[in-house]
Structure 1
Amino acid sequence: MDTHANAFDRAAESLGNAVELQHVNLRVPDQQAATAFYISGLGLTRDPFLMTGTDNMWANAGASQFHLPTGAPQVLRGTTGLVVPNRAQLLDRLAKVRGQLEGTRFAFAETGDGAEATCPWGNRIRCHAPDRARFGPVTLGIPYVEFDVSPGAVGGIARFYNEILGVRAWTEGAGTARALVAKNQHLVFRETDRPRPPFDGHHVQIALADFGGPYTKLRKRGLVSREDSQWQYRFRDIVDPDTGAMLFTVEHEVRSMTHPMFGRPLVNRNAALNNRNYAAGHEGWAWTMPPG
């Protein structure tokens, strides 16, 4: 029997019940403008295998995606975080698409580690340079989706994720709650007095290891909003488990680990490569840092 003292923090590797933050879904009215912003500007990669027509686009960002179906524009009530490989290249790309997006809500401003960018319809994307201490060994990906919520809501929100979904969640100081929904990926809820528009139907997709347990709890409270398939259901309302009070609304597309697309590998391109500086063998991008 091994009697040596354990030098490892085993709890640090516990994910809880959530194992995937796969996509953020936002309708867009113009696929050409969406391509200019998400692909040419942010440097993401259009999924080459699925949704390749003109009515929807899936934009790969490391292990996650933006889903951008055509329709009336949806605006996430908060900010999506995005890690990008190179700050200077990001700023150059965003400057180059300014002309294509003139007359829209597109804007960007430099920050210390990246940029604050706004899509043509008002979605806020906070771009960061890779930072192992903050985001883990990720060079490209969606480390968090942050929602603006009402003052006093975050305690109940943390309890909801812990008690109803079995997801590790906690409050951070005053006015912030964080839910761990995959390795190095969080849903963040930040209290604000800023007015919020009505919920317009946008959604995030997560996967749960215990798929049925949370379903039973949500169903008992009348919170299941849609039955999609054997492997997927949805809910919209986050409530205080103690009081039932409504705290926030954002649709969650919930998948099982047996879903046919769980953990699907995604193609990511090297956005720094073009026809003028092409180098054979460097088209793909590894979205995690090399060993060490």
Structure 2
Amino acid sequence: MTKPKAGKYDRSAEDLGNVVALEHVNLGIADQGLGTVFYMSGLGLTRDPYMMTSIDNMWVNVGRSQFHLPTMAKAQRLRGRVGLVIPDREALLQRLGRVTGMLGDTRFAFVEHEDHVETTCPWGNRILCHAPSSRFEGMALGMAYVEFDVPAGTAQGIADFYREVFATGARVEGDAAHVAVGIGQELIFRESDAAAEAYDGHHIQLYVANFSGPHARLLERGLLTEESNQHQYRFQQITEPATCRTLFEIEHEIRSLRHPMYARPLVNRNPLQTNRAYVPGRDGWVPEPTRAEMDDPRVEMRRERFEEATRRAAG
């Protein structure tokens, strides 16, 4: 038997912190029709077919995560950006171009950058769309990060808060705190000198493995805002551990892995499928291989076949 070689693999790269998934971002919108045009027709995402199917709310699937978009008289604004991984940049740009006329009287816009396409929803929320890459740990479609603009001098305290309260990986790079919240997923808190917008109640939802530990630490600090049910609680203030000074506000909906909706399979459609160029069996979105598995050369062959099938489906 061959003796294993020490150091062949970086075993620490496989470690996960206590936060295991960023499940959804909740943003109130003013018009479900305009939301449908932007999120489904423009971005190419999928309305959840099973939950929130009326006209007062919609859940929009993006890989294993979601946007929750309830109707509100005044739309909510995230003080930062949401980063998505969306395959096929050219198809994305074509979709965004097609919806421009329907969203002409709104704040909708899109701009190409070297490594992403920056989009703005009808109410001013910025969503950055990236191609799949190693940066996102093999994610082919999903919500990779939520980035918040925070006051100058708060990044270190925010990183310390998540490490101490949630026992998850957090580091400071330059002017930003990066908090691990799932495989290929981060919360980013980037320092800014710009005047902060007033917080309007939008929220994010995280799943955590050790549910009671963060609860006890939040309770000790007087930060809990809601004891929702057996599987969920909420808090809003991120505080500096050493001084208890509030650094930033964003409501967190915290769920345990025993929550009935944890790992619920989400339907994701193939946005290239059309009635004019229909390909049987291609309604559902199938991820394109983004990295070789165990250096298997056959992955490249599968990728080429997928790309050819996609081109045929697009006509």
Q: TM-score range by the shorter chain?
A: over 0.9
Q: Indicate the residue corresponding to 1:262 in structure 2.
A: 262
- 1:205 and 2:227 aligned: no
- The residue type equivalent to 1:125 in the other structure is I
Q: Indicate the residue corresponding to 2:103 in structure 1.
A: 101
Measured in 2, the distance between the counterparts of 1:288 and 1:219 equals: 44
Q: Indicate the residue corresponding to 2:32 in structure 1.
A: 31
- The residue type equivalent to 2:236 in the other structure is R
Q: Does the 8 Å CA contact 1:25/1:204 hold for their aligned counterparts?
A: yes
Q: Which runs of 4+ in 1 moved over 3 A?
A: none
Measured in 1, the distance between the counterparts of 2:195 and 2:118 equals: 20
- 1:110 and 2:112 aligned: yes
- CA gap of 1:242–1:67, structure 2 versus 1, over 3 A, is same
Q: Does the 8 Å CA contact 1:149/1:190 hold for their aligned counterparts?
A: yes
Measured in 2, the distance between the counterparts of 1:47 and 1:288 equals: 22
Q: Indicate the residue corresponding to 1:245 in structure 2.
A: 245
Aligned to 1:39, the other structure's residue is in SS state helix
- CA gap of 1:22–1:278, structure 2 versus 1, over 3 A, is same
1:114, distance to aligned residue in structure 2 (A) = 3.4
Q: Indicate the residue corresponding to 1:166 in structure 2.
A: 167
Instruction: Identify the range of structure 1 (239-248 vs 108-117) with the bigger mean alpha-carbon deviation.
Output: 108-117
Aligned to 2:142, the other structure's residue is in SS state coil
Aligned length: 290
1:122 to 121, 124, 136: 124
- The residue type equivalent to 1:128 in the other structure is H
Measured in 2, the distance between the counterparts of 1:197 and 1:129 equals: 30
Measured in 2, the distance between the counterparts of 1:163 and 1:154 equals: 14
1:1-292 to 2 correspondences below 5 Å: 4-6=4-6, 7-71=8-72, 72-131=74-133, 133-172=134-173, 174-287=174-287, 289=289, 291=293, 292=299
Query: Please, what is the CA RMSD of the aligned residues?
Result: 1.4
Q: Does the 8 Å CA contact 1:167/1:180 hold for their aligned counterparts?
A: yes
Measured in 2, the distance between the counterparts of 1:193 and 1:286 equals: 42
TM-score with structure 1 setting the length:
0.96
1:288, distance to aligned residue in structure 2 (A) = 6.1
Aligned to 2:143, the other structure's residue is in SS state coil
Measured in 2, the distance between the counterparts of 1:282 and 1:40 equals: 18
Q: Does the 8 Å CA contact 1:138/1:288 hold for their aligned counterparts?
A: no
1:204, distance to aligned residue in structure 2 (A) = 0.7
Post-superposition Cα deviations, 1:216-275, rounded to whole Å, max 9, x if no partner, equal 110111101111110000111000011111111111100000000001111101111111
TM-score with structure 2 setting the length:
0.89
1:69, distance to aligned residue in structure 2 (A) = 0.6
| Runs (5+) with no aligned partner, structure 2 | 294-298, 300-315
Q: Does the 8 Å CA contact 1:77/1:147 hold for their aligned counterparts?
A: yes
Q: Does the 8 Å CA contact 1:21/1:182 hold for their aligned counterparts?
A: yes
1:139, distance to aligned residue in structure 2 (A) = 1.7
Q: Does the 8 Å CA contact 1:238/1:249 hold for their aligned counterparts?
A: yes
